[in-house]
Amino acid sequence: MATISLSTIEQGIDTTADTVIRNESYFSDLDGLAGDGDFGTSLATGFKVIKKDLPDLDKSDIGTMLLKISMIVSKHVGGSSGPIWGTGFMKAAMPTKGKSELTLQEFADAIGNAVDGIMARGGAKLGDKTLLDAVIPVAEKLKDHAEKGTEDLAEVLKDCATIADGAVETTRSLVAHRGRASQVGERSANTPDPGIVAIATILADWCKANSVEYTPAAPEVAKASA
């Protein structure tokens, strides 16, 4: 059965940090279109610490590592992104405590738990034009694959990247209902949501890091992906 090891997750987080740090100003620029232009900086501030601390973090098990990452986010990430990503890591840490590798089902459960936590924290739901519009369908796709028993993780990853990437397009014309962008009404329509772009870029970069061929469709993701 396909399993995901602690070091795979660690490597995924390291790749994520690279993506976020590299796109600090681009993600902020995207946030500036309808939001307040701080998304990239907020996230990068935290991921710079994560990148630096990751090698020496307590890696007794996956849950412990994720909890430590959540704590770094809570301490260093401001804006909405702090509570959103902090809650995400914290909720993903809970079911993975004590485990040093995860089945696809366990991984899907952890992501599902993170999604529930983020929804409870920020009150957003599918269609509100937040990163949840990328993460919720990704979480569902993970569940599908886990239920189907898919063995090829590359296929799973590519599917997830495709879904998140597609969310940039499908949400582009929507009006944001949460976050700073929601306070500008109609004017958030026809701008991409930076959180969705970030999730899609992270997944695209994970593909690259794992030699899974994937070419982003959304221009923003293509631009942001390494």
Partner 1 sequence: MKKFVNKPEDFVPEFMQGILAANPDLLEGNLEFQMVKRKDRPVDNKVSIVQGSGSGHEPAHVMAVGPGMLDGACQGPVFAAPPVDACYETIKALATPAGVLVLVNNYQGDRMAWDTAVELAQAEDIKVDQFLINDDVAVKDSLYTVGRRGVAGNFFVMKACGAAAEEGKSLDEVKAVAEKVNNNVRTMGVALTSCIPPAKGSPIFDIGDDEMEVGVGIHGEPGRERAKITSADEITKTLFDAVADDLPFENGDRVALMVNGLGGTPPAELYVLYNKAAQLCEERGLTVVRNYVGEYCTSLEMAGASITLLKLDGELETYLDAPAETAARIF
Which of 68, 65, 63 minimizes the C-alpha distance to 98?
Answer: 63
User: Which ranges in the chain belong to alpha helices (H)?
Assistant: 6-22, 24-34, 39-53, 62-76, 81-96, 104-122, 132-148, 153-172, 194-209, 219-224
User: Which residues from 88-127 bind partner 1, rule CB under 8 A?
Assistant: 121-122
Least gap, CB of 37 to ligand ADP (angstroms):
8
For residue 193, the partner it binds in ligand ADP, partner 1, Mg ion, none, with Cβ less than 5 to 8 A by kind, is: ligand ADP
28 binds, among ligand ADP, partner 1, Mg ion, none (CB under 5 to 8 A by kind): partner 1
Q: Do 137 and 163 contact (CB within 8 A), yes or no?
A: yes
Nearer to ligand ADP, 97 or 125 (CB): 125
| Binding residues among 67-96 for Mg ion as defined by CB under 5 A | 79
The listed partner (partner 1, ligand ADP, Mg ion, none) that binds 131, CB under 5 to 8 Å by sort, is: ligand ADP
Q: Looking at 46, 117, 122, 166, which residue binds ligand ADP (CB under 6 A)?
A: 122
Q: What is the dihedral of CA 29, 225, 156, 14, to 10 degrees?
A: -90
Cβ-defined contacts of 183-187 (< 8 Å, 24+) = 184/34, 187/34
Nearest approach in angstroms of CB 48 to Mg ion is 18
| Shortest reach from residue 32's CB to ligand ADP, in Å | 10
Q: Tell me, residue by residue from 6 to 35, as one string, x for binding to Mg ion by CB under 5 A and - for no binding.
A: -------------------------x---x
The secondary structure element, H or E, covering residue 5 is strand 3-5
42 Cβ contact partners less than 8 Å away, ≥ 6 residues apart:
77, 78, 79, 81, 82
Q: Point out which residues bind ligand ADP (CB under 6 A).
A: 31, 35-36, 38-39, 42, 79-81, 84, 118, 122-124, 130-132, 178-180, 193-196
Q: Point out which residues bind Mg ion (CB under 5 A).
A: 31, 35-36, 38-39, 79, 180
